[in-house]
Structure 1
Amino acid sequence: MEHRDRWHLVQDSILAALVAAIGLAEVWVPFESVQGTGSPVVSSTLILLCAALLALRRTWPILLVGIPLVWVSAFVATGGDAQVLFFGGFLPLALALYSGARHGDLRTSVVVCGSVFASVLLADFFVPELQGPSEVLFHWGALLTVFLVGIGLRTSEHRAVDAALRAAAAEAVAQQAALRAVAEERARIARELHDILGHSMSVMVIQAGAAAQVLDDDPEEARRALEAIRRTGIDSLAEVRRVVSLLREDERVGLAPQPGIARIPELIAQARSDGLDATYTVDEGVGDLSAGMQLAVYRVVQEALTNVRRHARATAVRVAIARRDDDVQVTVTDDGAPDVAAPVRVGQGLLGMRERVALYGGTVESGPAPVGWRVHAVLPAGASS
């Protein structure tokens, strides 16, 4: 037996003991609610039997069928000459009806509730005390109320469970989508950095060859070539340190340089061709950023403009790249509002931006602006060296 079932058995046993105690008190005190001239001993036996069945109302709910049967059998066997009890008779019937409506599977509920209703209807024909109009109105009104309360709570619980399951499933799907977006972005970063490093190595080989050719005739030109090799090597080593933790599948990739800040005007032109009033400002000094850093800035602008076109009702967008002493700031603002009908794709894009910028120790913020929407990325300037 599971822990929950044991706890239910303890709770129901306490309830059954209370019902038995108040039922026996009703018979032997006696209470004014006692009707009929039946035997107190028989009534007490029936009360204890029903209490035992109530103790199992959630562990084996089908046994609740015995409660209405024992009382109706007693009335029928005595020709209606039996005690009619409220606490010792009607209360166990009502609890059996509630338990049948509230707990158990559909088949059990139908059997238990059907037996209670059928038994009370049968008792109405054999027990004179139950045949008065006010008595019929009372016990049928009370039983129907108990039945509806049990059904209502059962329905509410099922709806709550279904909602919780749907929420858990939706959360699992969202987490999987987020993890997939991060994995795809990391793989993309790895491929692009591979291209950058391949291009850098090609430049270094060319510069080294040029230096070897002019070493004797033009030492100064050879010195400049060697300096270019040194700078390219420093940048390449910095990119290697950032990408070493990324996993990727082996692929055949080219050695063409990846886009940088110089190609952002192409993104602006594309946004204008899509009908946006796009403006672009850039500070001097961003051109000396490393290729990987420039690629990160380019991808942030690219993803932000993509989100504006796909998910915002905007007419104008502004892109600004500012170079400070300690950092580079990328800000993309528009005059629209995010499209709530497609939150998942926007969220994946933002995850990709954050993953890429975090590679350089930076941060990305996205949220409402005084007018429209704003994406703001900050990358440490030291990451370029």
Structure 2
Amino acid sequence: MSSENPGGAGETFRLLTRPIAWPAAALVTGRADPPLPDDRPWPGWLGWTRRFRLDRVPYGLATQVLDVLVAVATLLGTYSLLQNQTAKTEPYAPHWYLFACSFALAVPLALRQRHPVGAFRVSAFAMLVTTTHGWMVDSPKDLPYVPGGVFVLILVLYTLAARSPRGVTIGAGLALWVAAFLLDQQNPAGPAVVIVLPLLAGSLVRQRHLAYRELVERDEAAQRELAEQERRHRDTEAVLKERQRIARELHDVVAHHMSMIAIQAEAAPYTVPEVPDKIRSDLKEIRATALDALTEMRRILGVLRSEDGMERAPQPGLERLDTLLSGTHGSGLSLHTKVVGDLDEVPQGVSITAYRILQEALSNAMRHAPGSRVDVELIQKEGILLLSVINGPPSGAQSTISPPGSGHGLVGMRERAAMLNGGLTAKATPEGGFAVTATLPLKPRA
């Protein structure tokens, strides 16, 4: 027969095997969290250490050194105690063996920061060995445990619970309580309290740390998302503003050509008196269509002009290249210009775009590389206008890193080139400067 609820059976099996799996994890298979960094900040309750300049030492290193010093003191005290206790017992235990037991009891304290699970295993094994020898049975309180080993085990249990998963912590407590019950059946409650208290304290510290880390991660994720949204908003706003500006500039260009069409369509019948009536009617229709299109364009673009108060003057083009370059000379840049081809043949729309790209690239050079050499090149050939602005590092410096900014200038330049079906690249040069190159078709693609 097939099982009707295999998931429920599997869960039941896991519940039944947990009392075995947990101690196995603590004694054999379990692992703790990665070691904490040495340079972690000092806790607030240790603020008094600043008076002695102890906070200059990394907190992780300071705690490790303290653990080693306490471990050495525990080793010496335990060795002396075992010598006194074993002198009363038979058979006599050699000194090297007593020192080895004392070392095994003390060394977990020096290991607990980086290897809490391993330190617990060594400490539990050492306590088991020394307790079964019965060296402490005639102690003043008739306790079978070595005091130094108990002290170390308590600190190790706290670190284990603060740095290990829940299963390892519970398994360590169960394994120790069973061992304590077997070794001292007359007083099982005392060891249980000694075991539970450090494990409970460490677990509370771990839960608090995990909750704080989750809160920090959520806050960082929210900050990253907010920054990403702000960046997308800035980029979108930059693109929209640039498109509005391009639209206004193209309005000036198209309006001029539409006006010329209307004027030529109106004047054509008067230049040739023998024009047939059909052609006169077609020319009149062409003029009316051109005027309607011009009126509609002005109405739409007029909204953009009135909202932000942009100037109504025609936008500058390459006919004002000399004025732009002369103004750049006055800023301290070492400007070198090369022009190939007839720029007068460049259409007005392309001319405006090229002028704006040059203007933005030169402005970036003035801001980020003052006093540098700037090479400006314009090549008009085969129906394409090639434009490049290359600047070196600032004068007297090997390289420069531009200060962080929104990047709206580059976004605007790319948007302008894309509106003409062209391309633009902007990247750093190996010499530490910056290069802006643009390819602008003079005629729209079919």
Normalized against structure 1, the TM-score is what?
0.54
CA contact under 8 A between 2:248 and 2:301: conserved in structure 1? no
**For 2:324, which of 267, 271, 275 is the aligned residue?**
267
Q: What is the aligned partner in structure 1 of residue 303 from structure 2?
A: 249
CA contact under 8 A between 1:313 and 1:338: conserved in structure 2? no
Measure how far apart 1:15 and its partner are. 10
Measure how far apart 1:342 and its partner are. 2.9
What are the superposed Cα offsets for residues 151-203 of structure 1, whole Å, 9 maximum, x if unpaired? Answer: 22222222111111111101111111111111111111111111122333455
1:342 partnered with 2:404:
yes
RMSD: 4.5
Specify the code of the residue in structure 1 equivalent to 2:305: E
Q: What is the aligned partner in structure 1 of residue 239 from structure 2?
A: 182
CA contact under 8 A between 1:314 and 1:335: conserved in structure 2? no
Q: What's the secondary structure of 2:403's corresponding residue?
A: coil
Q: What is the aligned partner in structure 2 of residue 198 from structure 1?
A: 255
**For 2:188, which of 111, 129, 154 is the aligned residue?**
129
Q: Which runs of 5+ in 1 are unaligned?
A: 1-9, 27-93, 103-126, 217-232
Taking the aligned partners of 1:137 and 1:331, their CA distance within structure 2 comes to 78
**For 2:229, which of 168, 172, 182 is the aligned residue?**
172
What are the superposed Cα offsets for residues 329-373 of structure 1, whole Å, 9 maximum, x if unpaired? Answer: 1111111367553321xx211111111111111111111112201
Taking the aligned partners of 1:210 and 1:359, their CA distance within structure 2 comes to 34
Taking the aligned partners of 1:15 and 1:186, their CA distance within structure 2 comes to 66
Q: What's the secondary structure of 2:199's corresponding residue?
A: helix
CA contact under 8 A between 1:365 and 1:376: conserved in structure 2? yes
Measure how far apart 1:149 and its partner are. 2.6
Over 3 Å counting, the alpha-carbon distance change for 1:142 and 1:189 in structure 2 is same
Over 3 Å counting, the alpha-carbon distance change for 1:254 and 1:15 in structure 2 is same
Specify the code of the residue in structure 1 equivalent to 2:360: E
Q: What is the aligned partner in structure 2 of residue 303 from structure 1?
A: 360
Taking the aligned partners of 1:312 and 1:137, their CA distance within structure 2 comes to 69
Taking the aligned partners of 2:11 and 2:241, their CA distance within structure 1 comes to 58
Specify the code of the residue in structure 1 equivalent to 2:443: G
Over 3 Å counting, the alpha-carbon distance change for 1:310 and 1:247 in structure 2 is same
1:198-217 counterparts in 2 under 5 A? 198-203=255-260
Specify the code of the residue in structure 2 equivalent to 1:131: G
What are the superposed Cα offsets for residues 305-352 of structure 1, whole Å, 9 maximum, x if unpaired? Answer: 1222234455222211122325221111111367553321xx211111
Taking the aligned partners of 1:317 and 1:359, their CA distance within structure 2 comes to 26
Taking the aligned partners of 2:209 and 2:187, their CA distance within structure 1 comes to 33
Structure of larger gyration radius? 2
Taking the aligned partners of 2:246 and 2:371, their CA distance within structure 1 comes to 29
Measure how far apart 1:287 and its partner are. 2.0
Taking the aligned partners of 1:161 and 1:319, their CA distance within structure 2 comes to 49
What are the superposed Cα offsets for residues 194-235 of structure 1, whole Å, 9 maximum, x if unpaired? Answer: 11223334555666788788779xxxxxxxxxxxxxxxx9xx
**For 1:291, which of 330, 348, 357 is the aligned residue?**
348
Measure how far apart 1:276 and its partner are. 1.3
- Percent of aligned pairs with the same residue? 29
Over 3 Å counting, the alpha-carbon distance change for 1:129 and 1:348 in structure 2 is same
CA contact under 8 A between 1:260 and 1:298: conserved in structure 2? yes
Q: What is the aligned partner in structure 1 of residue 128 from structure 2?
A: none
**For 2:439, which of 359, 372, 378 is the aligned residue?**
378
Q: What is the aligned partner in structure 2 of residue 328 from structure 1?
A: 385
Taking the aligned partners of 1:182 and 1:247, their CA distance within structure 2 comes to 17
Specify the code of the residue in structure 2 equivalent to 1:22: P
Q: What is the aligned partner in structure 1 of residue 174 from structure 2?
A: none
Over 3 Å counting, the alpha-carbon distance change for 1:204 and 1:21 in structure 2 is closer
Q: What is the aligned partner in structure 1 of residue 130 from structure 2?
A: none
Taking the aligned partners of 1:130 and 1:329, their CA distance within structure 2 comes to 89
CA contact under 8 A between 1:293 and 1:383: conserved in structure 2? no
Taking the aligned partners of 2:261 and 2:400, their CA distance within structure 1 comes to 46
Measure how far apart 1:140 and its partner are. 3.3
CA contact under 8 A between 2:243 and 2:415: conserved in structure 1? yes
CA contact under 8 A between 2:253 and 2:349: conserved in structure 1? yes
1:222-261 counterparts in 2 under 5 A? 249-251=303-305, 256-261=313-318
Q: What is the aligned partner in structure 2 of residue 363 from structure 1?
A: 423
CA contact under 8 A between 2:332 and 2:371: conserved in structure 1? no
CA contact under 8 A between 2:387 and 2:437: conserved in structure 1? yes
Measure how far apart 1:138 and its partner are. 4.1
Q: Which runs of 5+ in 2 are unaligned?
A: 1-6, 24-157, 167-185, 274-286, 394-398
Measure how far apart 1:20 and its partner are. 8.4
Aligned length: 254
